Chain A
Amino acid sequence: MQNMNIVQQLFYYFAHNGMYVLSQFDRHFLISIYGVVFAAIVGIPIGIFIAKHRKLSGWVIGIANVIQTVPSLAMLSLIMLALGLGVNTVIVTVFLYALLPIIKNTYTGMLNVNADVLDAGKGMGMTRVQILRLIEIPLSLSVIMAGIRNALVLAIGITAIGSFVGAGGLGDIIIRGTNATNGGAIILAGALPTALMAIISDSVLGFFERKFDPTNRTSQ
């Protein structure tokens, strides 16, 4: 192995451990996605709620902000005290970090809905639920999407650190590379797929964000 340069080593590594990398890629992605999906389930209603009760917004966003300022390794260790080692600890950590971008964007999206459109809805006799479902959510969907996009990219990075509490994922490969003799190629083999995953999910969600943007929609 010593006579190969790092790129050759990398290819050699992928050729011999392809299935393993794929399974860890899979696991990494699932952990990130679960955290973000739970955060969306909790965060979007909270965002809508504080947009309707603006007095609470300072409080709620403040709390989410405080969560965000805790360094991820510290957060991981804190949650480990409660939930123990393993994958659930990482999912909860991802969940907490994903809350802020989702709540904040939902809140902003809701506030930016044009008051005239809301008035028109009210004038047509829409109920509050109808206004929410037919006007506010469709018009703020693109901003909410941007929040989820931020959250997912953040989540992929945090999941990589999750290997320290034994959750698995691509971080495992990176850590092993740091322990191995001449592990440069192994570190790359873990780091490159992680970066790739972040870039791909960012562009896929970016596509949806543009698709949901009301200014791009042509009237039919």
Chain B
Amino acid sequence: MTKKMKRVIKLFLPLVALVVTLSGCSLPGLGGTSDDTVRIAAQNTTEQQIMAAIIQGMIKHYSNLDTTVINNLGSATVSFQAQKNDEADLTAIRFNGTDYQTILKKSATKDPKVIAATVKRDFQKKYHMTYFPSYGFADTYQFMVTQKYAKEHNLNTVSDLKKTAPQMQVGIDQIWMNRKADGYGAFQKTYGFSFGHVYPMQIGLVYNALASNKMDAILGYSTDGRIGSYNLKLLKDDKQFFPPYQASVVANDKALKRNPQLRPILKRLDGKIPLKTMQRLNYQVDNNLQEPATVANKFLKDNNYFEGGQN
């Protein structure tokens, strides 16, 4: 090794050292990765961000743990990876039906009870993650059209779409296309028709596309606040094709062990947020220019942080 090279190496040693120390410590004011910081992963949907803020508010109220939200994750798979690699301690919302298919790669059944039990058991055993009881709301895919379109074509159920389907432009969630048990392929088999044009897009955009008449129908989430703000017509899933997906918080066992206060705090949210409440909270964010954090804090104050009740 020449003298010159040694010098260059010497120069960059502090740089390397800095990166190493940085990754192991937390800086004041930012809530980094120290042991008593709870890292909450949240995806880029309104619902996820509201629930992340609610969990953050609960943890702040009941303990002196630091919290940080890892926001804007692209999909359920990304947030799962973050948790698996110990970059996050818990995910604000996981849907058991989605995890059943995309994480556990199963498609044996659509029975909600079997799915719930399987996901809870397998997450515990395989990944050492705890699936908490549901918040109280379930999300499911639902076909929606505008009231005007529904009246024109006399639509009430998904089966009613059969006649118009070949001419229809339909906006769907981009992950729905390739799902097995409840994806587009299985849908075609169950209902016996397919749509003229299907446009996979980011789920947040479909409602807008429908309201501005760029789409004839969309496949959206049943909890979205924009169903109310655009007054959309929900089509009944008359063949019960889409199973309800229960929403719950999922935490790493390691994090629960490290901070034992965490489990009772998260348990307080058990069943406290019914579907109507979630829709209302979503509506306030999507339609009333309020931040998820603002809405969550107000919600917690109004409900007195779910004091009392079981602990």
Contacts and interface: CB of A to CB of B under 8 A. Distances in A.
B72 A172 contact: yes
Given A42-B14, A166-B70, A179-B204, A31 B30 contact: yes
Contact of B85 (A84, A88, A168): A84
A30 B29 contact: yes
A172 B71 contact: yes
A60 B15 CA distance: 13
B287 interface: yes
Nearest to B5: A59
A181 B229 contact: yes
Contacts of B15: 42
Contacts of B1: none
Given A56-B7, A172-B71, A92 B22 contact: yes
A88 to B, nearest CB: 6
A166 B71 contact: yes
Given A1-B289, A38-B18, A179-B204, A86 B87 contact: yes
A1 B11 contact: no
Interface string A147-168: 0000000000000000110111
A175 B71 CA distance: 10
Interface in B9-66: 11, 14-15, 18-19, 22-23, 27, 29-33, 39, 41, 44-46, 49
A87 B71 contact: no
Most buried by B among A9, A17, A49: A17
A181 B228 CA distance: 13
Contacts of B293: 17, 20
A53 interface: yes
Contacts of A207: none
B19 A92 contact: yes
B155 interface: no
Contacts of A181: 207-208, 226, 229, 286-287
A17 B291 contact: yes
A168 B69 contact: yes
Contacts of B69: 166, 168
Interface in B257-273: none
B217 to A, nearest CB: 18
B226 A166 contact: no
Nearest to B27: A34
B294 interface: yes
Nearest to B22: A88
Contact of A87 (B4, B68, B288): B68
B32 A85 contact: no
A55 B2 CA distance: 14
Interface residues of A, number: 46
Nearest to B69: A168
A146 interface: no
Interface in A129-183: 163-164, 166-168, 172-173, 175-176, 179-181
Interface string A39-79: 00010001001000101100110000000000000000000
A119 interface: no
B73 interface: yes
A12 interface: yes
A59 B8 contact: yes
Contacts of A100: none
B88 interface: yes
A83 B23 contact: yes
B27 to A, nearest CB: 6
Nearest to A91: B22
B177 interface: no
A168 B45 CA distance: 15
A163 B39 CA distance: 15
A185 interface: yes
Contacts of A83: 19, 22-23
B77 interface: no
Nearest to A45: B14
B164 interface: no
Contacts of B18: 38, 42, 95
Contact of A86 (B39, B229, B289): B39
A9 B289 contact: yes
B82 interface: yes
B68 A86 contact: yes
Contact of B88 (A49, A53, A85, A180): A85
A42 B290 CA distance: 42
B60 to A, nearest CB: 13
Nearest to B86: A84
Contacts of B229: 181
A-B CB proximity, top 3 nearest: A166-B70, A84-B87, A17-B291
17 contacts: A16-B289, A17-B294, A20-B293, A34-B27, A34-B30, A53-B7, A83-B19, A84-B85, A85-B41, A85-B73, A86-B39, A88-B33, A166-B70, A168-B69, A172-B72, A176-B292, A181-B226
